[in-house]
Amino acid sequence: MSDAALDVRGLRKEFGPLVACADLSLELAAGQILGLVGPDGAGKTTVFRMLCGILEPTAGSALVAGHEVRRDPEGVKRVIGYLPQQFSLHRDLTIDENIRYIADLYCVPPGQWEARRDELLDITYLTPFRRRLAGRLSGGMRQKLALVCSLIHRPQVLFLDEPTTGVDPVSRRDFWKILYDLPRQGVTIIISTPYMDEAVRCNQLAFMFEGRLLAYDTPVGLRGRMTGKVLAVRCLALREARLVLQRQPHVRSVEVFGDRLHVALQPGVGVTEVRAALHEAGVDCQHLEEIEPSLEDVFMALTASATDGLRE
């Protein structure tokens, strides 16, 4: 138990009549990368704030690296690092000065952070630029400096809020290479994101929707929960095919790609039913094939069944 980075039980937050987080329970071992995934309003930010000890839960408990968020919020703050979406660095200070400033804020005694700084600058390839003003760094370098600052006090749990939104794929890969180095040093990472291409890099995923935890599993485990097939449909009359399929009761959703449609189906139907529906509507289709569902397909399917559940 004491090894768990997170031990959350029945965590709940109400804002008046709104339940922003409904009885969240999950456990996470140290050294894991957890993705908190969901659309706007799913409750990701509320959960983040509670776990960081800055928002008091209405009910339930959460241990973060052994510190209880309600009894010991200050203890929580000492053992976590936080990288907000809009990180604030001092543009008129150099890389070195920014790091020293943050180390002072966290009351890390002199002599105890310099080695860590050198190590972090090294893995982020920032060492040659230490005397450069933060205001003169590129976006990708500023983001890496913010990461260094959030790690200077050797936190056990690092929280990242949508770390690579608006970041190009090359910089994103480089950033993730650095993140993947941290679990080996015992750091647990918790990321909130609406993006599946970010989620797919985590090794545990918590899908959230309307304040509730829809599923908590590994990416592979989540794919295994997909009910219903996904088909790729290629044809010349792409728009007609889309309109026909969107009207079918056994079709959950239709997504348009350049030269094809991805059609998510209700459980129990497949290529035969879709082919028949298109044929009946007089749409000529060249290719129909079953494809591997993406994590996004899984998320959409889980969301849809959760919504149906609410309506019933």
Farthest-apart Cα atoms in the chain, separation:
77
SS3 state at 202: coil
Nearer to another protein, 14 or 174 (CB): 174
The answer to whether 207 and 214 are in contact (CB under 8 A) is: yes
Q: Which residue has the tokens 């485990």?
A: 221
Site string for another protein, 55-74 (x = CB under 8 A): --------------------
Q: Which lies closer to another protein via its Cβ, residue 71 or residue 287?
A: 287
Stretch in the footprint of another protein (CB under 8 A) among 63-71, 89-97, 104-112, 138-146: 138-146
The two three-digit tokens of residue 92, written as one number: 């008129």
Task: State the Cα–Cα distance between residues 140 and 174, nearest whole angstrom.
Answer: 9
Contact 134, 100 (CB under 8 A): no
Q: Would you count residue 177 as binding another protein (CB under 8 A)? A: yes
Q: Is 195 in the site for another protein (CB under 8 A)?
A: yes
- Residue 67 CB burial class (10 angstroms; 0-12, 13-18, ≥19): buried
> Helix %, strand %, coil % for the chain, to 5?
40, 30, 35
- By CB under 8 A, what part of segment 230-249 binds another protein? 238-239, 242
Under rule CB under 8 A, residue 212 binds another protein: no
* Cα–Cα separations (whole angstroms), residue 204 to 2, 4, 199, 210, 234: 19, 14, 9, 20, 34
Return the range that interacts with another protein (CB under 8 A); candidates 50-58, 92-100, 166-174, 267-275.
166-174
Say which amino acid occupies 124: T
Nearer to another protein, 7 or 162 (CB): 162
Q: Which is nearer to another protein, 136 or 279 (CB)?
A: 136
305 binds another protein (CB under 8 A): no
Least Cβ distance, residue 165 to another protein (angstroms): 6
Comparing CB distances to another protein, the nearer of 69 and 206 is 206
Interface contacts to another protein, rule CB under 8 A: 33, 38-42, 125, 128-129, 138-141, 144, 162, 165-174, 176-177, 180, 184, 194-197, 200-203, 218-220, 238-239, 242, 253, 255-259, 294, 296, 299-300, 303
